[in-house]
Amino acid sequence: MGGRHVALTFHEQEDPSTDSPEPSVRQAGQSLCELFRVGLEEIRTRKAFLNFTEQDETNLAKIGDLLEREAEGVIDDFYEHLKRFEPLRRFLRDDQSIAYLKQTQKQYLHTLGRLWDRSEYFENRLRIGMTHEQVGLDQKWCLGGYAVMFEIISRRIVRQYADRPQEAAGLMVTLQKILSLDSSLMVETYYRATVQRLEATLQELGDTQRRLEEHSRLDSLTRVYNRKYLMESLEMELCRSQRYGHPFTLLLLDVDYFKEINDRYGHVVGDFVLQEIIRLARSVLRPTDILGRYGGEEFIVGLVENGLAPGQRVAERIRLKIALTPLEYEKHRLSVTVSIGVATKQSDDESIESLIRRADQAMYRAKTVGRNRVCLSAA
């Protein structure tokens, strides 16, 4: 029972041409019997369900003796039958592959119904379904193969027991039971492997969709909301604040002397400055606040449920954080400042564009009076 066996079977787990991983649901070091909870009690239940009797145990020994003598012929007949069907011929690539597969088939037949009250027997049979699913063999061929195998072995039973038809009939009943057990085990793992593969595909598709959605709403450089998604988010929050009567404040932040930074150090350094400013601003903001790139070196912060005074305090914290943090890029050490305009929602009928316009006017006033400041909207 030491090897891994394949029933019908066109590939076997240790075939070097088959290296697909087993489903991720299986933990490292966990057997298939453990995964499917096939213990001694389960084995007894399955035997009872198929009405295995002491006579069946005796019959299995006789079937095993017959297969010891007839295995080669059974296997030759089986593969001759497979070769008649085009979808199966692709698994029978060459003489070397066929010889390998026949050897694994021989191991399967020599263990058919032997020591089958042990977990190793169930482990090997469960593995068959896993292997078949991994190599892409349709389940109809897997299940059909058991019926073909039953017919081929039954013909030999009838021939050997021609003078004892009642005994032959009993052996074929037992053979049907053991092959039914093996096929049910194959179906279990085939189904589980298929489900796991589909779940993995759906997870991958979900991850791809999330990445695409993120790409569609984030600025590629700073990884904050792009202008389109920023405006949609601000509009939604403004409507919410109007509906429930909550305060909503906007900060419009502009990097001081950004053109000079680009001209002196180059756009690579300019990009780095924008990324660092966003990093520093994020450290001050709450997860619920809205942060996006409005254009160029201008960014907007939507402060959810914050009025003018709290908004001014947040703006000052952002300004100081940036002004007091030297930025270093390769050999360059830069001191960067920002000017920030603050405007808060005044009336229920105010649009997001008018709120941005007032924040923009306040920001330009901060530029006019010396930069590196926070100014409040006049109205």
* Residue ranges in 218-351 assigned as alpha helix (H): 227-244, 258-265, 267-284, 308-323
CA–CA gap between residue 340 and residue 256 (Å, rounded): 10
- Residues contacting residue 307 through CB under 8 Å, at least 6 positions apart: 247, 249, 344
- Round to whole Å and give the CA distance between 26 and 34: 9
Options 237, 297, 316, 328, the catalytic residue = 297
The two tokens of residue 292 are 């996006």
Has 297 been annotated as catalytic? yes
Place of tokens 């202008």: 227
- Give the C-alpha separation, 146 to 236, whole Å: 62
Q: Could you tell me whether strands 338-344 and 332-334 are parallel, antiparallel, or unpaired per DSSP bridges?
A: unpaired
Query: Considering just the CA atoms, what is the radius of gyration of the chain in Å?
Result: 37
DSSP state at residue 218: B
Answer left, alpha or beta for residue 252, where phi above 0 means left and psi between -120 and 50 means alpha: beta
Q: Cα–Cα distances in Å, from 330 out to 327, 333, 336? A: 10, 8, 16
Taking phi over 0 as left and psi of -120 to 50 as alpha, with beta for the rest, 193 belongs to alpha
Residues assigned a catalytic role: 297
